[in-house]
Amino acid sequence: MAHDHGHGADADRRLLGAALALILGLMVGEVVVGILAGSLALVTDAGHMLTDAAALGLAIVAIRLAARPAQGAYTYGLKRVEILSAQLNGVTLAVLVVVFTYEAIRRVVSPPEVRGGLVAVTAAVGIAVNLAATLLIRRADRRSLNVEGAFQHVLNDLFAFVATLVAGLVVLLTGWDRADAVAALVVAALMARASYGLLRDSGRIFLEASPRGLDPAAIEAALRAVPDVTDVHELHVWEVTSGFPALSAHVLVAPGSDCHERRIFLQELLLETFGIDHTTLQVDHRHDVYDATSLGRRIHPDPPGHAGH
């Protein structure tokens, strides 16, 4: 089952909770110091850290909800809550990118006075805090899109703080105040990258695309290569939530073949070769069923040697 790991959900929640406390403390400090120092880079990164905190908070809630058993209309339980939170986090990041990019460009054109020393000291503290938070989240189950998204965000914050530290030192040593706005643009670029990744991966799951690393054509070819299998159609491979691949297919076997035995063999093949343990296979003798519909039928550049649909 997806997300079964050594630490357990409770351990993951504790790790994420500790990281969340660190992030929130640093975020408040950044806002206060950023306003006092007149640093857009610090305020921008505080905004980024707000989305990190939201991602961590939503991940903690999602872990709890995903652990609930399936019941009623929710036959998969609430496992996709984490994908909803990941997508919400990606949208929030995208909005912040637009806001911070606009403000940074405005400050490049007309830079305010920035207290470089205060910015540099705060950025150095931020690097230390983000290192600690990164190490905490790294120990959680990163197969979850939510946890991995939070991890990548905090990791990106490390690079953002490095950029802010450099900007503070440049302002302190040279007096070039525009360095702060340039650092803010770097942070916005990192946020855009994280936003794209979250929206892309969560979008694939919502559109029920095949999981990354699993090629439906290769899976179908492996099924067709099994002895006594004469046809495969209605093959669908999707991801219920991150780390939870599922497959369904209609398989036709030669007359006289043991359908039950072939189904068990195919399920073991899918688990051992492709890591898919949630499968629904309908196995029939070839001449006992009607022709397949076009749904799920694949086009092969080089059609297999045996009979088609």
pLDDT one-digit tens code per residue, 199-213: 998 899 999 999 988
Q: How far apart are CA 205 and CA 90, in angstroms?
A: 14
Q: DSSP of 153-218, one letter per residue?
A: HHHHHHHHHHHHHHHHHHHHHH--THHHHHHHHHHHHHHHHHHHHHHHHHHHHHTTPPPTT--HHH
Tokens 């189950």, residue located = 141
State yes or no: pLDDT of 174 exceeds 90.
no
pTM over 0.75: no
Name residue 80's amino acid: R
State yes or no: pLDDT of 304 exceeds 60.
no
Which residues are CB-contacts of 207 (< 8 A; sequence separation ≥ 6)? Answer: none
pLDDT one-digit tens code per residue, 111-126: 877 777 877 888 888 8
pLDDT one-digit tens code per residue, 53-77: 877 887 788 778 877 777 778 777 7
Selection from 256, 249, 247 nearest residue 228 by Cα: 256
Selection from 188, 203, 187 nearest residue 95 by Cα: 188
What's the whole-number mean pLDDT along residues 83-99? 83
What pLDDT was estimated at residue 291? 54
Q: How far apart are CA 163 and CA 296, in angstroms?
A: 49
- Domains and their CATH numbers in the chain: 8-206 (1.20.1510.10), 216-288 (3.30.70.1350)
Sign of CA dihedral 250, 253, 256, 259: negative
Q: How far apart are CA 123 and CA 30, in angstroms?
A: 9
What pLDDT was estimated at residue 6? 38
State yes or no: pLDDT of 4 exceeds 50.
no
Per-residue pLDDT band for 175 (boundaries 50, 70, 90) equals confident
The distance of Cα 23 from the centroid of its chain, to the nearest Å, equals 20
pLDDT one-digit tens code per residue, 234-272: 999 999 888 789 999 999 999 889 999 999 999 999 999
